[in-house]
Amino acid sequence: MSQIGNNIKKLRKVKGLSQQAFAELFGLTRGNISSYEEFRAEPRIEVILQIAKYFSIPVAELLEKQLTVNEILNFEDYFVDDSAIKNAKNLAQIPFIGREAFQMGQHVLADLVNLPQIYFPVYSKSSFMAVENNSFIPRPVSFPFEENAILFFEHVEVDILHTLDQHFGFYLKEENLFFGQYEVEGKDIELVLNDWKKVSFTTEDAVCFWKLYAKFEKVL
């Protein structure tokens, strides 16, 4: 059975595209995309070739296998998918917040267990989260990272509080989330988005605070 319908749907979600927006990329209608995703029809071969070329995915994989988030993001040379994890050593399993998560509702973001998992060589005992830099997440004006860069964040523990000053971080609590920069003055720690929005670090809310650990940007 062809996987093209499943893969079109997953491509849309990972790339943050509605059925209409996806259709317009390839001169189709929203009804066309709906019929592909519901297995009522399959695209013509020329459309399949266009999709494969546009997203840099081999035609055979687009048709025959259910694509992983890593493969869709074209990070397969760096991220390890579930099929290879049994043979991989020293790889951390990391929850991943991509732009598609925002289409599934904020409740998904609040429960990291429900997020897609990626595997990456992060050599630390700390907890990590990977976040795609995208327009759904507020950020400081001075935020220096490219759109779609994957940012790795380390959970803020008491023993790294002294390292936070002027470092970028991520705040996630229920429906409130943003990238910011830490400001430390004595024992007072704030993660600052801008002059109007900031949150103070407390040990009770420590689970909501993350410190930037690394970035991954695909060089084309």
Set out the domains of the chain in order of their start, with CATH numbers. Answer: 4-65 (1.10.260.40), 82-216 (2.10.109)
Per-residue model confidence as pLDDT tens digits over 83-140:
444 445 556 778 888 877 765 555 556 666 667 777 776 666 788 889 988 888 999 9
* Contacts of residue 91, Cβ cutoff 8 Å, sequence gap at least 6: 80, 85, 119, 120, 121, 122
Q: What is the DSSP letter of 80?
A: B
Average pLDDT, the chain: 82
Read off the tokens for 108.
């998904």
- 4-15 vs 30-37: helix axis angle to the nearest 10? 120
pTM more than 0.85: no
Judged by average pLDDT, the poorest of 14-23, 63-72, 172-181 is 63-72
More confidently predicted of 169 and 53? 169
The phi-psi region of residue 209 (left if phi > 0; otherwise alpha if psi is between -120 and 50; otherwise beta) is beta
Distance CA 123, CA 154 (A): 11
Q: What is the DSSP letter of 67?
A: -
Average pLDDT over residues 17-45: 91
Cα torsion 46, 48, 53, 56 to 10°: value is: -170
